[in-house]
Structure 1
Amino acid sequence: MRIAICDDDAVCRGQTLDIATDYAEARKDIELYFETFAEPRTLLEATRKKGAYDIYILDIVMPEINGIELGKALRSMGADGKIIYLTSSEEYALDSFRVRAFDYILKPIARDSFYAALDEAISSVSIKRDKVLLVKTRENNARIAFDSILYAELSRRTVIYHLIGGKKVESTTLRTAFTEAVAELITDRRFVLCGASTAVNLHHVTAVESEGAVFSDGERIMLGKKACRELRTAWNDYWITKEG
């Protein structure tokens, strides 16, 4: 599992890496690889070249690009790694919510809190990796990770799965109702049925507007007013429950 640490302060960066390394040595059940970055731009470039990290441990107060802006940039690239923020102030807590931060830890870092956050983040990543949807297409059977799906929609008599990065997978002609076709998705708490023909991944929603929603990679979906109200309620409940 790949974990990125970004902090412009060399001392703090080193301390975070030391604590993280101690944690990794205590975990014999999983391989953890850490990379450190002094600048957000360098981390963004590494993500572009190597792909998203599983977990991002980010300082918030940094020059040029702060941790919140960095989180937004990562989400806009489609990077959905768990973000754990480190900061000496609580004033950014609400902003961290908007980029779907997994945790928010105050400095100086308490090992117990840091270890607990890593335990939960690693567990969440592992669970999501295990969940795959098998979709029969005209060409073959496609295996789609739940976490890669932004939303699924009924189009005539097929289901189109919209994935991170603009990719789409279309099923063969349905012989069942849409709700039956996406039953595996909507029994997962990340997904919610919006109206009769759309299932949305709440974890990827970054904003709910009056006529639709915006996803982590910038894609938008248009929805009716009632569906928007239902989505907004479900989205708020999802994150309140998750953060609690």
Structure 2
Amino acid sequence: MEEFIHRYGEEHGLPFEVESFSDGSQIVERDASRFDIILLDIEMPGMNGMEAAHKLRAADADVVLVFVTNMAQYAIRGYEVGALDFVLKPINYYTFSVRFERAIHRAQKRESGQVLLNLPDAVKRISTREIYYVEVQNRMLHYHTEEGEFVLRGTMQQAEQQLERYHFVRCNHWYLVNLRHVTEVRRDTVIVAGQELEISRRNRTAFLTALTNYVGGDR
């Protein structure tokens, strides 16, 4: 698999750092968040892949898990830990590359960054993952986040340029939504972190397309 990963990287111009572990207990002792994709063999000495997956998922809700096994019956159990996919043995490069590309697409959705908010009395650094949505009112931007609401002067165009690469999309003129935090779409509204925001007719198609690609574009 390590050879396949580097071969895929050479073909697509993507450098990868690869670490190998011979037992499930070895990987769960590491910080799961430092990995983008974890390929887990089901059968390993000591802690098996399924046990390791439960512990990894408890430590990191987003890390991409892909099982490698010759036992297809584990596919159903994979839903317990949010496994993205399975690679069945014996492994060939074509099958592996298809599954690996899907894992890369999912991993890219984890990407986050840091932005600086120039507040009236301070400069606040915040992770884009912690921002639920941005609202504009009277030329003031309201950042609704896990830590609360932060208000600063600015335009929606500036916020959009800063956050677009992190999967923020407008649902109407006044709101820029982090697709990561969308939990439900109703007829003309979207639920973001428990708040119901209107989807305008003008933005509806683009917003729903972006959301569909975000949720299912790795399939």
Does the alignment reach a TM-score above 0.5?
yes
CA–CA separation in structure 1 for the residues paired with 2:72 and 2:218: 15
User: Alpha-carbon deviation of 1:64?
Assistant: 4.0
One-letter amino acid of the structure 1 residue matched with residue 150 of structure 2: S
Partner in structure 2 of residue 172 of structure 1? 151
User: Alpha-carbon deviation of 1:98?
Assistant: 2.6
CA–CA separation in structure 1 for the residues paired with 2:77 and 2:175: 32
User: Alpha-carbon deviation of 1:102?
Assistant: 1.9
User: Alpha-carbon deviation of 1:106?
Assistant: 0.8
Partner in structure 2 of residue 78 of structure 1? 60
Match runs of 1:89-108 below 5 Å: 89-108=71-90
Closer/same/farther in 2, CA of residues 17 and 80 from structure 1, 3 Å limit: same
Partner in structure 2 of residue 116 of structure 1? 98
Partner in structure 1 of residue 31 of structure 2? 47
8 Å Cα contact 2:177-2:192 kept in structure 1: no
User: Alpha-carbon deviation of 1:43?
Assistant: 1.0
Partner in structure 1 of residue 181 of structure 2? 191
User: Alpha-carbon deviation of 1:88?
Assistant: 0.6
Partner in structure 2 of residue 140 of structure 1? 123
Closer/same/farther in 2, CA of residues 137 and 88 from structure 1, 3 Å limit: farther
> Does the residue aligned with 1:140 lie in a helix, a strand or coil?
strand
User: Alpha-carbon deviation of 1:184?
Assistant: 2.1
The answer to whether 1:33 aligns with 2:12 is no
The answer to whether 1:20 aligns with 2:5 is yes
Closer/same/farther in 2, CA of residues 141 and 41 from structure 1, 3 Å limit: same
Closer/same/farther in 2, CA of residues 72 and 103 from structure 1, 3 Å limit: same
* Percent of aligned pairs with the same amino acid: 20
One-letter amino acid of the structure 2 residue matched with residue 52 of structure 1: R
CA–CA separation in structure 1 for the residues paired with 2:61 and 2:3: 25
One-letter amino acid of the structure 1 residue matched with residue 16 of structure 2: L
8 Å Cα contact 1:135-1:142 kept in structure 2: yes
> Does the residue aligned with 2:66 lie in a helix, a strand or coil?
strand
The count of residues paired between Structure 1 and Structure 2 equals: 178
> Does the residue aligned with 2:177 lie in a helix, a strand or coil?
helix
CA–CA separation in structure 2 for the residues paired with 1:69 and 1:84: 14
8 Å Cα contact 1:135-1:144 kept in structure 2: no
One-letter amino acid of the structure 2 residue matched with residue 95 of structure 1: R
CA–CA separation in structure 1 for the residues paired with 2:42 and 2:60: 20
Q: Deviations over 1:127-146 (max 9, x none)?
A: 542x658584754244423x
Q: Deviations over 1:211-244 (max 9, x none)?
A: xxxxxxxxxxxx8xxxxxxxxxxxxx99x95785
Closer/same/farther in 2, CA of residues 181 and 72 from structure 1, 3 Å limit: farther
Normalised to the residue count of structure 2, the TM-score between the two structures is 0.60
8 Å Cα contact 2:23-2:46 kept in structure 1: no
Q: Deviations over 1:182-205 (max 9, x none)?
A: 6322xx3x43256999625xxxxx
CA–CA separation in structure 2 for the residues paired with 1:136 and 1:110: 48
> Does the residue aligned with 2:96 lie in a helix, a strand or coil?
helix
One-letter amino acid of the structure 2 residue matched with residue 191 of structure 1: H
Listed as ranges, the gaps of 5+ residues in structure 2 are 134-141, 153-171, 195-211
> Does the residue aligned with 2:105 lie in a helix, a strand or coil?
helix
One-letter amino acid of the structure 2 residue matched with residue 66 of structure 1: N
Closer/same/farther in 2, CA of residues 136 and 120 from structure 1, 3 Å limit: same
CA–CA separation in structure 2 for the residues paired with 1:243 and 1:96: 17
Normalised to the residue count of structure 1, the TM-score between the two structures is 0.54
The range that moved more, 120-129 or 32-41, is: 120-129
The answer to whether 1:57 aligns with 2:51 is no
Aligned-residue CA RMSD (Å): 4.2
